[in-house]
A and B are shown apart, each in its own frame.
Chain A
Amino acid sequence: MTCRKAKKAIPLLAGGDLAPRKERRFMAHIDICPSCRKELEGYRSALGRAKASAREEKPGDWSESEWKALMAHITAGRGGERTMVLGLRPRRALASGMAAVIILAVTVLFVKDTMFGPHKTSPVPGPDVVSVTMVSQETGLQVVWFFNKNFEWKGDKN
């Protein structure tokens, strides 16, 4: 353990925010290093002072009439999301309902299609021969290619 490493951890160590294992490691160094010990004491003292200042401070309070008026104003409203349906929060209830409807619709479509839908017909056979014609705009020359259904070249004709 080096002082540099220890000094990095001292702010957290001062407030007891290191894991116990780490704390033991750092404390072992601090026990033998007067400079780090002094630094830790400085942090503890600063933290203690800040906490004491917070305790001394009196931020004030609502007057009783203000508080009563505030409570009346708050509870007079409808309280938006407080109603629960079947123990579910409204947004979750809505999402669950939507999901159930979608699942039901998909199931109905699937069952209808497989059990009562029309039987599939065999696909219409394509043409046996395909021709491709190219015409040159400059010379008027025509080139025609003929392919069979496997797109194998059969021959050309001018």
Chain B
Amino acid sequence: MVLSGRNDAFEPLVTPYRQPLLALAYRLTRDFEDAKEIAQEALLRAFKHLGRYDTSRSFRNWLFQIAANAARDRARTKGREAAALAHAGRELPQSPDPSSGRRSREFRSDLDKCLSVLGPREREVFILRDIEELDIRETARVLACSSVSVRVNLSSARRKIREAIRDKYPHLEEGQ
């Protein structure tokens, strides 16, 4: 219906995925404001490129793919901004980070602690496969990489999480 020009049909189409999309964006960024912007960008892109949607595929996974790309774009932009700020910071006096208290180690969630030991790609693969429970093939499709690459990163991510729980956060192991 949206493809035939009925814009009002878009909202009922995406409403069931509103929360999962925001949750995925949050898991990828660990920042609620960033997550909101990423999910918003993903919805905008989905509406704009709805004609490219392959109907043989899960709509949720297609939205996840767009959100993962938007999160990567945002991380890249933020990296550039951080580098520019760091460069400017050499000349300016250092001010305390307002979010440092909020994101201090004590207040981080258990999942945060687990994800903090992973690299960006490992984190994406782990979240999609183990948290969102996509299969290996769909994870590879969402991340535009091969199944072999997904398996390699997944294996490494699980190993790191296992080691982190055993060595750094043993209380998580006990909490099971």
Contacts and interface: CB of A to CB of B under 8 A. Distances in A.
Interface of A: 8, 11-12, 14-15, 17, 42-43, 45-54, 56-57, 59-62, 67, 70-71, 74-75, 77, 79-84, 89-90
Interface in B137-176: 151, 154-156, 158-159, 161-162, 165-166, 172-173, 175-176
B136 interface: yes
Contacts of A46: 158, 161-162, 165-166, 173
Interface stretch (B47-55, B58-66, B70-78, B84-92): B47-55
B109 A53 contact: yes
A75 to B, nearest CB: 4
Interface in B1-59: 2-3, 5, 7-8, 10-11, 18-19, 22-23, 26-27, 32, 35-36, 40, 43-44, 47-52
Interface residue range, chain B: 35 or more
Contacts of B81: none
B18 A67 contact: yes
B68 interface: no
Contacts of B5: 82-83
Given A46-B158, A51-B130, A82 B3 contact: yes
A85 B52 CA distance: 13
16 contacts: A17-B129, A46-B165, A46-B173, A49-B173, A50-B110, A50-B131, A53-B172, A60-B22, A70-B43, A71-B11, A74-B47, A75-B11, A77-B44, A77-B47, A81-B50, A82-B51
A59 B27 contact: yes
A15 B129 contact: yes
Contacts of A57: 109, 111
A49 B11 contact: no
A83 to B, nearest CB: 8
A100 B26 CA distance: 48
B175 to A, nearest CB: 7
Nearest to B133: A51
B67 interface: no
B130 A62 contact: no
A11 B176 CA distance: 18
B158 A74 contact: no
A15 B158 contact: yes
A49 B176 contact: yes
Contact of A43 (B18, B47, B158): B158
Contact of B49 (A8, A54, A67, A81): A81
A59 B32 contact: yes
A45 B165 CA distance: 10
Nearest to B32: A60
A138 B54 CA distance: 81
Contacts of A71: 10-11
B34 to A, nearest CB: 12
B114 A79 contact: no
